[in-house]
Amino acid sequence: MKPLIVLNLKTYLEGTGEGAVRIARACKEVGGASGIEIAIAPQFCDIYRVASQVDVPVYSQHLDGVGAGSFTGHAFAKCIKDAGAVGTLINHSECRLKLADIEASVTAAKGEGLRTIICTNNIATTAAAAALGPDYVAVEPPELIGSGIPVSKADPEVVTGSVAAVERIDTAVKVLCGAGISKGEDLKAAIELGSVGVLLASGIVKAKDPKAALEDLVSLI
Ligand code: G3P
């Protein structure tokens, strides 16, 4: 199976507005040349801008489990879908939710046919997330996020342990890992540990040349 790479732009300036479109074009080019799916998760206000200009899978960075109606200031699944997203992150370490809210977000996203990636911080929360039936869980030890130290090297057990835990709960759920991933060897190690891909950010978004950084990332697959 070809891996999935999801590039989270967070609120990095380099990945905001036209920067998001530029990086999305790099994802499309490198993804197209390598045959590897490289999806992008821009900020809410950039979803339509990116999805309407670049033929690349777009994910929301968050989604609230609310329906249509009297809900001010929420990220509503239908609006996210209509803006052009195909999926969403849920419960990112930088946007944590309560368990009941995670479940509501998964249900709302599925109701619109959006793919779901629940982010987790350790093996126990990965197991809990898998029980909610998302398409993916993405395990990311918070202390390694933005560190440049890849989880696949610094904490391989959290990846293998997450894969084993998910297998026991729901074999349809796939595991991604993230935090500190930026190089081809990091992605290769992540795959060897049993994950199907990576969720990453700073190593690409803040690189001098994001396209070259993406080419390096996929170079050993
Ligand atoms: O969502 C991806 C993330 O939290 C990992 O960030 O900068 O360590 O790749 P980074």
pLDDT tens-digit readout, 82-111: 999 999 999 999 999 999 999 999 999 999
Q: pTM higher than 0.95 for the full model?
A: yes
Residue 219 pLDDT > 90 = yes
Task: Kindly report the number of other CB atoms within 10 A of residue 73's CB atom.
Answer: 5
Collapse the DSSP code of 48 into the 3-class scheme (helix H, G, I; strand E, B; otherwise coil) and give the result: helix
ipTM over 0.95: yes
Task: Give yes or no for a contact between 37 and 6, defined as CB atoms under 8 angstroms apart.
Answer: no
Residue 93 carries which DSSP code? T
**Annotation says 74 is catalytic:** no
Q: Which of 144, 123, 133, 161 is nearest to 199 (CA)?
A: 144
pLDDT for 2 equals 84
A 10 A CB-CB count for 72 gives 5
Say how many Å lie between the CA of residue 162 and the centre of ligand 1: 18
Q: How far is the CA of 103 from the centre of ligand 1 (A)?
A: 23
Q: Measuring CA to CA, which residue among 165, 220, 219, 203 is closest to residue 23?
A: 203
- Residues linked to residue 5 through DSSP beta bridges, in sequence order: 38, 198
CB of residue 142 inside a 6 A radius of ligand 1: no
Res 1: pLDDT: 78
Angle between helices 18-34 and 210-218 (to 10 degrees): 30
**CA of 170: how far to CAs of 25, 129, 167, 187, 208, in Å?**
35, 10, 6, 24, 40
